[in-house]
Structure 1
Amino acid sequence: MSLAARMKLRKITALQEASRATAVQKEQAEAAQKEKRDSRVNMPFDHPNAATEAPAVTVQSNSPAALLKQEKLARLAIERDGAQGLAPERSADGEGASEYELLLASLGEDEAMLKTIASTERKEEAKRGLIDKYTAHVDATLAAAVETGKGVQDEIVAMMMIWRFDIGDWSRGLDIAEHMLRHGLRLPSLKNFVRSPATIICENVAEAGLKTASADKDFDLAALQRASQLTADYDMPDQVRAKMEKALALHLIRAAEKADKNPDNAIAGAAHAARSQALDHLRRALALNKAIGGVKQVEKLENWLKKNASPETVTETDETSSETDESKE
């Protein structure tokens, strides 16, 4: 699915969820007001709380109206400041600038709070609780960029890519990564990044893949493949690229082993194809970085592939044998 299709689907889903949430909040508010009215009915007329209280009016940040406003502001920012190719700086003036600055200030406060947490696990949990605050802005910005083909520098969007990676939301994180690479967005200045965006993207996903493989756990192979494809044309240290190649290989091997265990549910030739691709990735990883490891796995794959001919090879052999037999007759 393309980024444009994903953003359109995400917008529809977000509006539906926001509508449901707003309806629930409205029901809860009405119930609370009714409870207050009922309690006042039973109060003596001279009770200090007997006076009618005006209901508090609150604006929900995730309401349909708020989401549509974010979309409008994102579109205005891109149309005003955006450009194709390398994204220019965001203007500090104009409609939507103050809303962006307020949200950016909130992000600065959240980052300062996160620095006070020593535990990585607790930091990730905190980010999960904070991230929805910025989702409407990010989704609206990506959708506007898809529609216009333009981008603008955005600290919030860049930081949310890092946060999505940190909490393991690879699908959304890579959507933002695709946007950042396409429009040349910088990494957030709130963090002192030295490496390029492409290097950060590739290494974050690759290291997560390697970590899960070493723990004998599954990882989203599609996320590894997408990250590899997105960053394929960008310059980065060979050691980082080697990590990605090895991560791809290890999870292709896991996919092959799963196909071995459930041949009835696997596509014909899937196990052979996965091992063949894994071998290519491992060889490439070793060529980039000899210290990456995987020599024994290369030998194991080579031996398996020699002993197990691919379905295409078997078919071709059978057809050749049949033709030979017919010619003899």
Structure 2
Amino acid sequence: MTSMKTTAAGQQTGRVTVVGSLNMDLVIRAPRLPKEGETLVGRSFVNVPGGKGGNQAVAAARLGAQVAMIGRVGNDDNGRQLVAGLRRDGIDCNGVATDPTLPTGVAMIVVDDAGQNAIVIVAGSNGALTPAAMAVYASRIEQADVLVCQREVPDQTVLAAMNLARKHGRIVVLNPAPVTGPLERGWLESADFLIPNELEASALSGVPVESPESAQRAAKKLQQDGARNVIITLGKRGVVVLTEGDRAGNGGKHYLPAEVEAIDTTAAGDTFVGGFCAALAAKRPLDEAVRFGQAAAALSVTRAGAQTSIPYLHEITL
């Protein structure tokens, strides 16, 4: 196998701007996920920096991109710890504002012995990231090679960021989580790449995703609804990619995953997105960008936590 490297030792080759959430993850490990009304005895508890926006920013930075973060934290210890962690990874945090009244967002995560998780999020200061902030920090979006967004901040803010990026010809990646139902056509048309997981793809398309074959059907439905390129992550079953060029063909491509022993799947999807975006920003071919994201995500599930599990560029082989 050969390592995927930047063009020179230590050199970063592309620019990624992330608009999204910053959370402190409150992680509990338990034998299994609790049932409704059930009390379980957990094994451990730890605070870990997280939030889909923060996770994807860290992943892109560790995996070879110059990264700018646009977000909002509270005036509290959690917020200060999150920003300090991003800066340690070389991320430009000048677009991260401090809210004077709202607390930093938090996520309660329960991880079971099989490495699966259940998550409850309280938005806090993430909910105060407004479309006006996109105008204030517009230069960070305009100068990026790739903009990546999620839906843990207000929808109108995400749309404002995506529309600004498209106006300036930037690549737009939307990880549409969390999902409550189908997205309007304008959302799908604003993203160059739509990257849901199987549950999100099911909710967005109305097609139950239970296999790579059904994922391809869901991706086709999303393209009919306005999406350009659709990448559906399937965890241990790999990734299905349907591009604009596949519209007239028989289907997309199924990328099998590496076989690893998962201990914690938290942030695996975010690691894939961050790695994929870092590779796109570095002008890597789509096929290589997908495989690079997969390799990074596979390594992340062998480690515990969100940002603590995200690997570095030198650890990735293709």
TM-score (normalizing by structure 2): 0.25
Hey, which of these two has a bigger chunk of helix by percent? 1
TM-score (normalizing by structure 1): 0.25
Structure with the greater alpha carbon radius of gyration: 1
Hey, which of these two has a bigger chunk of strand by percent? 2
